[in-house]
Structure 1
């Protein structure tokens, strides 16, 4: 049990680890824990849209697992990746040693890396799409770099996304205002609250 507790402490430390492409973006992008949280939900949305016989419990676990090795290897951005080699397999093996979930998570990691099962493909698609979400959020905050990456992201959608649902979702991400969920909500203060009939220009 001691190793299980140590493992959980180590996972908690992921919230303190920035993703390295934040050096290109101000304000900073999500940390590792925040990234994995949204990847999990993106994966569940893709799975719901794909339908069929999918193991959603596996999808959730795999999404929460996919980047935890970065607790020991660190994250590497698209520039540094050309110069740095990371041993994520060894990092994950050491993290999981003597924990109660070692066998299950080690096998799940290999499945994710193989990209053969529908669940692994969905989680990888979700990981890819979180970049699009981040870029659109950065653009809405006035950052200019996302516009320069748009053509590259379009190419990623055509060549690296596995599922039709992810390809359609990517297009919708770029077409949707990141603030529409609250600005356009019929239940916000402007549309359904005490400001509804107020003249805001006066």
Structure 2
């Protein structure tokens, strides 16, 4: 599917019309996330159907050819996305920068972190961690970057939403599939899907470590918000207690708890 095509089989669209959306069962942002793709399609049709472009103008979108196929040479071999697909995908990911993490919103934290903020510091964790036997650090960095990427469409679904774990995974899997279609498929899209699935299934040493980074980043952020806002955010520390899988995760979490206990003691 091209980046902007409204897929009638998408779980985010109703079957009756590409401009009407099914009510997303647990989140209210899906209409906005999908509607911009329809806008992209409209713009592409205008460009592709123009038979008399402005003389001497420069076509900055090589994905639009005389045939109207919307595919570049790179697309044909499935190795990479066209510039149009890439920009569509990156635009979709913009919401990761603007969507606040719901746990902090629920605790009335003003100016709380976004989903992208969370993933960025996890990536830094993977960057600075020492070499570990059998662990591919570069893969950990990539996994940290993509582990919450489906939230660009579904938003941040938390335990407080009451969504069963299996249903949450299904929604995110469907969103990831749509995002990879926006990217135009190919090697990079397959890599994103593979990294996401590996993390979701906790299926490797890298996934174990990045799962720990996810929890470490959350309790570190909780500690910072406690200090900045004068709050007590016990639930974030209680929800992660005893759930760290790696020695790195355990040691970093212990350091955060030590600093918290010292602050609370003072």
Q: Report the TM-score, using the length of structure 2 for normalisation.
A: 0.59
Report the Cα offset of residue 62 of structure 1: 0.6
* Aligned residue number for residue 238 of structure 2: 152
Match of 2:112 among 26, 29, 34: 29
C-alpha contact (below 8 Å) 2:134/2:205 kept by paired residues: no
* Aligned residue number for residue 179 of structure 2: 95
Q: How does 1:78-93 map to 2 (within 5 A)?
A: 78-82=159-163, 85-86=167-168, 87-93=171-177
Q: How does 1:58-137 map to 2 (within 5 A)?
A: 58-82=139-163, 85-86=167-168, 87-97=171-181, 98-100=184-186, 101-137=188-224
- Structure 1 residues 37-94: Cα deviation after superposition (integer angstroms, max 9, x where no partner): 011122334x41x622321221111100000100111112331134794310010011
* Aligned residue number for residue 7 of structure 1: 89
C-alpha contact (below 8 Å) 1:115/1:121 kept by paired residues: yes
User: Which consecutive unaligned segments of at least 5 residues does structure 2 have?
Assistant: 1-81, 261-266
- Structure 1 residues 103-154: Cα deviation after superposition (integer angstroms, max 9, x where no partner): 11111111111212111111111111111011101111243231x337615x
Q: Report the TM-score, using the length of structure 1 for normalisation.
A: 0.76
Cα distance in 2 for partners of 1:136, 1:60 equals 24
SS in 2 for 1:141: helix
* Aligned residue number for residue 39 of structure 1: 122
Largest Rg, 1 or 2: 2
Cα distance in 2 for partners of 1:91, 1:119 equals 23
Q: Could you say which structure has the higher helix fraction? A: 1
* Aligned residue number for residue 264 of structure 2: none
Report the Cα offset of residue 172 of structure 1: 0.5
- Computed over aligned residues only, the root mean square deviation of the Cα atoms, in angstroms, reads 2.1
Q: Which has the higher relative contact order, 1 or 2, with Cα contacts under 8 A spaced 6 or more apart?
A: 1
* Aligned residue number for residue 102 of structure 2: 20
Match of 1:138 among 204, 219, 225: 225
SS in 1 for 2:158: coil
Cα distance in 2 for partners of 1:140, 1:165 equals 24
